[in-house]
Structure 1
C-alpha cells in the first residue's frame, strides 16, 4: 500500500508491532499479566534519557508561574485526559488556585468520559479553546500527543507560539512534528506497545510520569514543600486533616497533637502557616508577612529564624 498518510503512520515507533507480545492472546492470564508488566518496566529508562529536557521544561514553567503565568496542558484522547488529571490534582495537593493549572482536551469536557475521536483532527478547535481561557504571553502551553503529530495539538502550539507563549511538547516518537513548534521537546520513546498502536498503555504511562514530574518539580521550586513534606496541602477532609497533623509531627517531633491542633486552628488549616507560627512564635498575620519575604518557602523562613537565633547568641 503506497499511501503517504498510511506510510507516515506506519513509520511511527508507537505503531510498530511488538515482537515480545506477538502471541499474547494465547498466553495464560498469569503470563499475560507478566508480559504487560515487563513492558512497563522499560519505561523509566526511556524517561531518564529525557531528564535534561524535562528539567529545562520545569525551569520554564517555574519562571512563568512565579510571574503569574499558567501551565496549560492540551491533548486529545488519552493524552488530553492525562493533562486534565494532572491539572485537577494540583490545587488540592499544593493549594494553588484552580486556574493556575489548566487541562484542555479535544472535544471539550464531554471527551473526558466519552471518546470524541474525530475532534483531534481539528487544529482550530484548540485555538478557540485557548482564546476562551484568554491565553497570554506569560502562560506556558504543554502539548501532549503520543504520535507527536495530532493536528489539534499542533494547532494549539502554533497559536501559543504566535502570541509569545513558551511551548513544550510531550510525545513518544523521535523528531516529531510537535517539536517544530516547541521550545522544549520531551520525546520519551517507549517502543512498540504490547497491543500495537494502543498508546493508552506504555505511552500513556510515560506521559503520566512526565506530567507528574513537571507539576511536582515546579511546585517544589515554588516552596510548596518542606523537604518531601506536602506543607501546602488543602486539608479538605478528615484524612487530610490527620495528614496535616502527621506532617507537623515530622517537623516538630517534640511537640504534641494538642499543640498541632491549636496551631492549625490559628492558621485556618494551613500546615505551612501553622509550622511557621510554631517556629517563629509570632501571630498569623506577622508570620504571613515573613513567609512572603521568604518567597513563601518554609525552608527559607526556618533558615532566616535560625540565622537570627545565631545572631542573638
Structure 2
C-alpha cells in the first residue's frame, strides 16, 4: 500500500487540493504510459471545475481506455435505486460501464484493457452511500485482475472527526452497508479504502493519493472547493449534514423529502400531525438543531402530488449536532404520536430483511423503537462496539489537523491550542498555588502531640464542606451536562493524575455496583495507566501527549462529558485531555482547588472549592482530595438520581440475577408500597421480575402493560411514571 504526497504543501487559508490535482502536479508520474480505467461521476472535478476524465483523455502521457459509473450514473442524472445500462460516451468514444445495474463489480472483460484503475468520487460521509461499495467491489476486481487500484482522495464533506452510530452486523450486509463500520465514520474515501483493504481481506495493490491543505476538522465549505452535488437528492452541504439521520426515513412510510427542494431536510406525510410532532421534537432539547412545522407536495417518490404535513430540520450548530441520534428521535417521536399510521416498509419479495434494518445494519434498533425503549438507551447499547471501531479506525487516518502533509498511517497527533512551555511554572508562580502554600496553623506540627495533630487536621478538614457548598451552583451546571449526556447515550470520563486520578477511577468503579450502570458509562482515566492506581508513576502527570492520546483512544465525541481533576489546575496530562475533548465537541468540566486555574479557563464549567493550604504543604491527598471526592460524589449520585436510578432514597435499578437480589427487590417493594410479602412477590413475578414495573403497578394500581408504557413515557423515572399511569387510569375510568 502506498501514499503519494505532493512535494509542496500550502499554508493556512489556501484552498484544499483534491487527490486528482495532486496527480496533475506530479505530471501523472504514477500512471504515465499506463492504460487507465476511471471510476467517477459528475463530482470528479478539479479546482477549475474541469472533469478529471477530460483531463486524462487529453493528456498525451496517459491512455484513458474506459469509464465506470456508480449509482446515479457517470453524469449524476439518474434517480436513486434505478438500474443503469452501459453505453459509449459521445465525446470520447470510450465505453462507459455501469456499476449499478446487472453488474456491480467490474468483470474481467471490462478490465482487460486496463493497467491501473483510478477512482475519483465524492462521498457524503455516511455508511448508506453506495459509492463506498462501488469502490470496494472495484478494488476486489482489481485485486483479482492483478492491476493497480488508485484512489484520488476527496474531503469527507461533514468533517473527518465526528463518528456516530451503530456498527453494522454482517448478516445485514447489502449495497447500502457492506462492512462493520458506523453510520458516520469520520474518514475520507481514501482512508476508507485503506480500512476496507486492510481489515476485510480485499488485498488490492492500493495507492491513495492524498489531498493538500485539508484538516480533519474541516467541513466542505471550509475547503474553498465548489460544491458539486454528489447525487440528485444531496443538492447542498446542508442536506449532507442531516442525511446520516433522516435517510433512515427511507425505511418507513414517511417521506424523507424526495421530490422537494429540500430532500432530507424536510420530512412528513399526509396523515402527520406536524404541529404536535414539532412540539415533541423541540421538547427533547436535542443539541445543535431546531425543528419547524413545514408543508410540501412531493413531485415524485412517496406521496407524489399529495400535500404533506411535516417538519423541517434546521441545524443551528453543526459542531454538536448528531444527525443519526436525531434521526432515531424523529422516528421514535413519529411512532409514539402516530402508532396506527406509522409503518416500516416491509421486506421486498425474496428478502428476509426490512429496508430500515438494512440501512441501520441490524434489526435490534427497529425492535427497540417498537418496544418504546428511550433513544438514549438504544445509543448506549452500541457504544462499546463503536469504541472498538475507533481503535481500528485510527490506524488508517492519513490526515491530522494541520495543513502540512505527511505520510501517516499511525494515530495522528493533532496540535492543541496551548503553549506547552506555559505549563512550566517558575518557582514564584508555583508557590502562588493555594495547595503549595504553607499553612500558618501547622508551622509547628512536628512539635505537637498526637492528639493535637489529630485536632488540627480535623479542624482543617471541617473547612472542606463549606468550600464545596459555595460551589453548588457550578456543580449543578456540571450535573446538568452529565444528565443530558447520559440521556443522549454519552459517557462520563474523569481524567486526573495521582490522587485526583485515583479518586476519578474509584468513583467510576463504584457506579456499576451502586447503580447497575454498564461498565462503559462512567470511566476513570489516570495518568500512567492502571499501574498508577497502585503506585506512583513518576513523570506521568507531565506527559502532555499521553493526555491527548487517552481521549483519542476512547473515541470521545460531542455526546460525552470529560471532567478534568487537578488540585493545582495546571497538570499537563489533564490540560491536554480537556483541550482534545473540547476539540472533539465534548462538554468539559474542571475540578480544581486553585482559583482561576488553567483547566478552569479551558472547561465549560469550572468547580473550584478553595480549601486553602494543606496541613502538610503540597499534600493534596488531604483537603484537596477530600473536596474532589465530595464533588465527584455529588456529580455522579445526583446524575444517577435524575436518570431514574433512585426512587425515594432507594436504589431501584437492580438487575435481579440472583435470589439474593430478587429477595432485596421484593423487600424494596414492601418498604416503598406498604404491601405484604405475598403481594410484593406476586406483583414482582407479574412484572417479569422488574422492580420499576412492579412499583408502578402497585402505586398506580395498573396492569403491567400500562406500567411499561408509563415508564417509557417518563424515560424510566418512577415517580413520573406513577403519575402518568394514574392519569391514564383516571382518563380511562371517565370514558
Determine the C-alpha separation between the residues in 1 that align with 2:442 and 2:654.
42
Determine the C-alpha separation between the residues in 2 that align with 1:196 and 1:239.
48
Instruction: Tell me if the contact between 2:593 and 2:611 (Cα under 8 Å) persists in the aligned partners.
Output: yes
Pairing partner for 1:181 from 602, 625, 629: 602
Instruction: Tell me if the contact between 1:77 and 1:117 (Cα under 8 Å) persists in the aligned partners.
Output: no
Verify: 1:248 aligned to 2:683, yes or no. Answer: no
Structure 2 unmatched runs, 5+ = 1-423
Residue matched to 1:108: 529
Residue matched to 2:458: 37
Determine the C-alpha separation between the residues in 2 that align with 1:169 and 1:229.
30
Verify: 1:139 aligned to 2:560, yes or no. Answer: yes
After TM superposition, the structure 1 = structure 2 runs for residues 17-96 of structure 1, keeping only pairs within 5 Å, are 17-96=438-517
Instruction: Tell me if the contact between 1:93 and 1:233 (Cα under 8 Å) persists in the aligned partners.
Output: no
Verify: 1:290 aligned to 2:694, yes or no. Answer: no
Residue matched to 1:190: 611
RMSD of aligned Cα (Å): 2.2
More moved, 23-32 vs 127-136: 23-32
Q: Where is the helix percentage greater, Structure 1 or Structure 2?
A: 1
Verify: 1:222 aligned to 2:643, yes or no. Answer: yes
Instruction: Tell me if the contact between 2:491 and 2:522 (Cα under 8 Å) persists in the aligned partners.
Output: yes
1:28 deviation in Å? 2.3
Larger RCO: 1 or 2 (CA < 8 Å, sep 6+): 1
Instruction: Tell me if the contact between 1:74 and 1:105 (Cα under 8 Å) persists in the aligned partners.
Output: yes
Instruction: Tell me if the contact between 2:492 and 2:523 (Cα under 8 Å) persists in the aligned partners.
Output: yes
Determine the C-alpha separation between the residues in 1 that align with 2:608 and 2:655.
33
Q: For each residue in 1:17-73, what CA deviation from the matched residue of structure 2 results, as whole angstroms up to 9, or x when unmatched? A: 112222222222222222111111111111111111111111111112211111111
Residue matched to 1:302: 722
Instruction: Tell me if the contact between 1:79 and 1:204 (Cα under 8 Å) persists in the aligned partners.
Output: yes
1:133 deviation in Å? 1.3
Greater radius of gyration (CA): 2
- 1:236 and 1:302, CA in 2 relative to 1: closer, same or farther beyond 3 A? same
Q: Is the partner of 1:295 in helix, strand or coil?
A: coil
- 1:112 and 1:296, CA in 2 relative to 1: closer, same or farther beyond 3 A? same
TM norm structure 1: 0.91
Structure 1 unmatched runs, 5+ = none
Instruction: Tell me if the contact between 1:72 and 1:103 (Cα under 8 Å) persists in the aligned partners.
Output: yes
TM norm structure 2: 0.40
- 1:224 and 1:197, CA in 2 relative to 1: closer, same or farther beyond 3 A? same
Pairing partner for 1:118 from 530, 536, 539: 539
Pairing partner for 1:202 from 623, 626, 632: 623
Pairing partner for 1:271 from 688, 691, 715: 691
Determine the C-alpha separation between the residues in 1 that align with 2:583 and 2:441.
44
Determine the C-alpha separation between the residues in 2 that align with 1:244 and 1:152.
43
How many residue pairs are counted as aligned between the two chains? 309
